[in-house]
Chain A
Amino acid sequence: MSDDKTSPATDVTDGDSAVEETVEEATETSASEIDVPEDAEFEVTPDLQTSEVNPKRRRRWLPALLAALLIASAGAAGGVYWWIYRPDQQTNAAAQQRATDAARDGTVALLSYAPDTLDKDLANAKSHLTGEFLKYYGDFTDKIVAPAAKQKGVKTEATVTRAAVSEMQPDRAVVLVFVNQVTTSKDRPDPALATSSVMVTMVKQDGRWLISEFNPV
């Protein structure tokens, strides 16, 4: 409207009346929609309080209800994630594979050593162990394995032919391993094969699977 430089004076009158109409409308709107409900609630239509949802009360409880629902559902989701979903993920096929691989590597390290590389072999073995079993293995190798290996030239090499998870928990696994161990010594230079089945208990520490029990069956 501002660009119509040729517009005649009659437009002005139209503009004025439009303004008046708008003002009236605005006044009407504010009067009917803000003032009336407050009166209506108690005087004009008292039955509204019981039969219809009170807009004021609805305004108050709806956000509170939604906030409570959001908190409750978020809490439920967190609980389901932490106690159900996460443990499932920590025991899935990929996690079982990692535990199995660690059990294989640990078993091979534990049962393979040669006189020449004894200290390195035993240190490597110990890096796969934890807890009581680590202590036991340390004592056992110091007192029996190391002297025997050095004096009698005992050399042994283990291979894991098959392995499978028997029990699986997020931070504990039991793995059945089939072990073949070939041993030679000065007294018996011909390789001797020993086969065994071992239940290897693994525990997860700082994200690493370590052997905590080693029980031949």
Chain B
Amino acid sequence: MAPEVDGDETVSEVMAQLAEAEAAEAEALADAARAKATAARLRGSPETPDTEDVADEVADEVADEPARRWWARLPWSKIGLAAVIVAICAVLTLTGLMIWQHRQVTAQRAHEAEFVTSASEGVVALLSIDYNHAKADVQKVIDHSTGSFRDDFSKGADDFVKTAEQSKAVTVGKISAAALESENGDTGVVLLAASSQVTNANGARQDPRAWRMSVTMTRDGGKLKMSNVEFVP
């Protein structure tokens, strides 16, 4: 055989081949001995029992050698390396899945925060009307609305503007607390604790009024807008 230095050859492989060769040799020896015994028996030789014993001894030796058992011939070092590689792949996959999941969670958090921010903006607009620019303020509320709430509010908008202008009052809304109660993709309910303070024409400030509100937000043209506004009694 050519003296090749194969990069993939390992000592264990060579050892296994050697062991196989030795096993084959021993088996062959045993077979040969048995054959000899058979031949002798056929010839009627008195030596038969002895030769048979030799054959059996050789066969026993072959069976007893632990190195000849089938599992001893498996390339354990290769199996070990393969197992470690599989383990590394499994652990990396698991890590990847956890990171992927975290990205989902982060995206979900941002999605939830958008509901709270949009609802707060909408409610501040709703509670803040300045008689100096009442029409623009009311339009701002309409811009923050969609669906049935937008329809209802738009109907009364003109009267609302007139009342605000006549009152000569400035109302300022403020959000004290807001939290997302429920959410389902493009629609969600936000609870808000808000207050509004009215300053009338002669500059007198009234005590702030507290409001508990439940606002349903619905996505409309990429933006979350108020589709239902409830004052929780």
Contact = CB atoms under 8 A, between A and B. Distances in A.
Given A29-B17, A33-B17, A55 B181 contact: no
Interface in A45-62: 45, 48, 52-53, 55, 58-59, 62
Contact of B25 (A11, A22, A39, A70): A22
A58 B95 CA distance: 29
A88 B3 contact: no
A117 interface: no
Contact of B9 (A33, A70, A77): A33
Interface string B153-197: 000000000000000000000001111111000000011010000
B136 interface: no
Interface in A7-23: 7-9, 11-12, 15-16, 18-19, 22-23
A58 B81 CA distance: 13
Given A59-B10, A84-B102, A29 B179 contact: no
A34 interface: yes
Contacts of A92: 105
A71 B9 CA distance: 27
Nearest to B20: A26
Contacts of B210: 197, 217
Contacts of A44: 3
Interface string A58-76: 1100110011011001101
Contacts of B32: 12, 15-16, 19
Q: Is the interface of A mostly helix, strand, loop or mixed?
A: helix
Contacts of A22: 21, 24-25, 28
Interface of B: 1-7, 9-11, 14, 17-18, 21-22, 24-25, 28-29, 31-32, 34-36, 38-39, 42, 80-81, 84-85, 87-88, 91-92, 94-95, 98-99, 101-102, 105, 176-182, 190-191, 193, 210, 212, 214, 232-233
27 contacts: A7-B38, A12-B35, A15-B32, A16-B32, A19-B25, A22-B24, A22-B25, A26-B22, A26-B24, A28-B1, A30-B14, A36-B4, A37-B5, A55-B6, A66-B81, A77-B92, A77-B95, A84-B102, A88-B101, A88-B105, A162-B191, A164-B179, A164-B181, A164-B191, A165-B179, A166-B179, A217-B177
Interface of A: 1-2, 4-5, 7-9, 11-12, 15-16, 18-19, 22-23, 25-26, 28-30, 32-34, 36-37, 39-41, 44-45, 48, 52-53, 55, 58-59, 62-63, 66-67, 69-70, 73-74, 76-77, 80-81, 84-85, 88, 92, 161-166, 175-176, 178, 195, 197, 199, 217
